[in-house]
Amino acid sequence: MSSLEAKIVVLGAQGVGKTSLVMRYCKGAFNPAQITSTVGASFLTKRVVDTDTDTVVRLQIWDTAGQERFRSISRLYYRGANACILCYDITDAQSFADMGVWLTELRQNLPNDVVLHVVGTKADIVARDPSTRQVPFERCIAYVAENLAPCVG
């Protein structure tokens, strides 16, 4: 069985749910009472097996701070990233608008071949109360098509 390592950096504004997303993925659960603002970055690993290629992938997941005052520190964690997850809170239109700042920063600090995914968080809140959604899914799709889709021609 072959093995690989991949570095994934999770970015987005403060309070969008980056830590909750990472904890849920890596640990299978999270306790909202234990979540505090990230200072600098936290680091978790997850082992994933690709049964199609018989490959073990060790994911190094870096959960970065979203506060402006930690922005210069967060740039240090981008180096060597294979993928980035750019998060916004679907119940907070400002967090969606802030993605442009994060995207500009990524483009200045990472090569063009880094895989980038956009993730809307807090769908659980919208599931309980649909009126809390401030960012329609279609708006995200349009943003990705305009800003992240590969250029053709």
- Please write the tens of the pLDDT for every residue from 114-146: 899 999 999 999 999 999 999 999 999 999 888
* Amino acid at residue number 22: V
Predicted TM-score of the model (pTM): 0.81
Look at residue 37 in the predicted model and tell me its pLDDT: 57
Domains belonging to the chain, first-starting first, are 2-147 (3.40.50.300)
Average of per-residue pLDDT across 12-33: 83
- Please write the tens of the pLDDT for every residue from 59-116: 999 987 655 544 555 567 778 899 999 999 999 999 999 988 888 888 888 888 889 9
